Amino acid sequence: MRAFEANFDGLVGPTHNYAGLSFGNVASQSNAQAVSNPKAAALQGLEKMWSVKQLGLPQGVLAPQQRPDIHTLKTLGFSGSDGQILQRAYDTAPHLLMACYSASSMWTANAATVSPSADSADHKVHFTPANLVNKFHRAIEHPVTGRILQATFADPAHFRHHAALPAHDMFGDEGAANHTRLCRDYGQSGVQLFVYGQHGSDPSQPKPQRYPARQTLEASQAVARLHQLDAARTVYLQQNPDVIDQGVFHNDVIAVGNQNVLFYHEQAFLDTEAKLAEIQDKFGDNKLHFIRVGTEQVSIDSAVRSYLFNTQILTLPSGEMVIVAPTECQDNTQVNQYLQSLVAAANPISNVLFYNVKQSMQNGGGPACLRLRVALTETELAAVNQATLLDAAQHQALRDWINGHYRDQLTLDDLRDPALLNESLTALDHLTQILKLGSVYPFQRN
């Protein structure tokens, strides 16, 4: 049966802003409190989705979260009318207000870990929403993320949804940003790579000193168990703690894989040679392309600034692979030269396409952060909620939706404006109709 890799991108929510919430994420910290452009951000993301669709690939949309998260503000003791809650949080704890306003669910690489049916013992597609415990603004995403995933992949005959892992540091889980699958065809069983930042239970093991490691080995192992993966086709690799300390807060800032290609920086992992040998061994006889980028070719600093590895390597219907990169890669001379040499060299990647996702990049999210990959057979793709799959009509409907509901710009001061809350909920209510999601948001359920 034919199989595809579908990319499900997060639609940027109406409250997209720069709040400096992610310690260890250089872009988030350096753009703290810059003026944001929600409408431009959402349109940039949508245009990337539409371009990928036009390459002949299935492209899905994942709805954003309900923000501001008034419920969480109430849980934290803010009371009164919605307007009073926003004002009181603004006056006494603006960092909490900003956290409850974040549009961070746009980075759907962190929404969940997904394993395709070809790899799981029960032959179902498995989803585990990431608990994202390391960052408060993200730790409040998973309950609604789980509901959106269930409304998008609804058919229990094909899709199996798990709860997020327990909310404890031992199980810090950041989803698919630390997970890659290598395979021959998307419908054949593959090797799943889980990259972790530190051990959750053994403090004597290597770990970063300056910035947090967000993913633990224990979390990765739990997800592999839940997804019924075969240990003979699963590899755990530790991310190099030194690069986490240089701003590589997820593995997808320093490595990306697709089919028989693993594209990685030489400093990405610990124990690299042994791990690559294990991957090849578990992959079997077909030779993998390990595309290694040396520090002299691209420094860690350039990788973090340009997001060279936060790229999408896509297999087109022709079988050719292309790499989708942010325009920051084009603007960086060293990285652009590297990319030109990459597509000219003897490897499966034959072209590079640049997209402008600057609004997302300024918060540390590149093209790969914005998408969740879901490998699906033809039958499974037909079982997906079809309204979440982009076609010309849905593309137009979403463009109109963004243009009709979003503000051009937002500042911190705007976050206490109750009108912004009302605009946001009105927009989301309308969106659930466009995407036929049902009542996924708390405000639609009580």
Ligand X SMILES: NCCC[C@H](NC(=O)CCC(=O)O)C(=O)O
Name which of 12 and 437 has its Cβ closer to ligand X.
12
Residue 250 bears catalytic tag: yes
Binding-residue pattern over the window 340 to 379 for ligand X, x denoting contact by CB under 6 A: -----------------------xxx---x----------
Of residues 95-114, which lie at the interface with ligand X (CB under 6 A)?
Answer: 102, 104, 107, 109-110
Residue 369 bears catalytic tag: yes
Name which of 279 and 324 has its Cβ closer to ligand X.
324
Q: Which residue of the set 369, 380, 395, 405 is catalytic?
A: 369
Name which of 279 and 357 has its Cβ closer to ligand X.
357
Contact status, residue 258 vs residue 210, Cβ threshold 8 Å:
no
Of residues 124-143, which lie at the interface with ligand X (CB under 6 A)?
Answer: 135, 138
Name which of 211 and 283 has its Cβ closer to ligand X.
211
Residues at the binding site are 19-28, 110, 137-138, 214, 252, 363
* 58 CB-side CA count, 13 A: 23
Euclidean distance between CA atoms 298 and 296, whole angstroms: 6
For residue 177, state whether it binds ligand X (rule: CB under 6 A). Answer: yes
Q: Which residue of the set 126, 142, 158, 250 is catalytic?
A: 250
Q: How far is the CB of 215 from ligand X (least distance, A)?
A: 12
From the number of C-beta atoms within 10 Å of its C-beta (0-12, 13-18, 19+), residue 51 rates as middle
User: CB 2: neighbour CB atoms within 10 A?
Assistant: 11
Sign of CA dihedral 435, 436, 437, 439: positive
Of residues 13-52, which lie at the interface with ligand X (CB under 6 A)?
Answer: 18-22, 25, 28
Residue 168 bears catalytic tag: no
**Residues touching ligand X, count (CB under 6 A):** 20
Name which of 252 and 380 has its Cβ closer to ligand X.
252
Cα angle 118-119-122, degrees, rounded to a multiple of 5: 80
Structure tokens given for 268: 């990405």
Q: Which residue of the set 5, 141, 174, 328 is catalytic?
A: 174
Report which secondary-structure segment, H or E, holds 217.
helix 217-226
For residue 248, state whether it binds ligand X (rule: CB under 6 A). Answer: no
**Scanning the structure block, which residue is given the tokens 């590899």?**
235
* Residues in CB range of 50: below 8 A, 6 or more apart: 59, 390, 395
Euclidean distance between CA atoms 348 and 366, whole angstroms: 22
Instruction: Give the binding site for ligand X (CB under 6 A).
Output: 18-22, 25, 28, 102, 104, 107, 109-110, 135, 138, 177, 250, 363-365, 369
Active-site residues, by number, are: 174, 250, 369
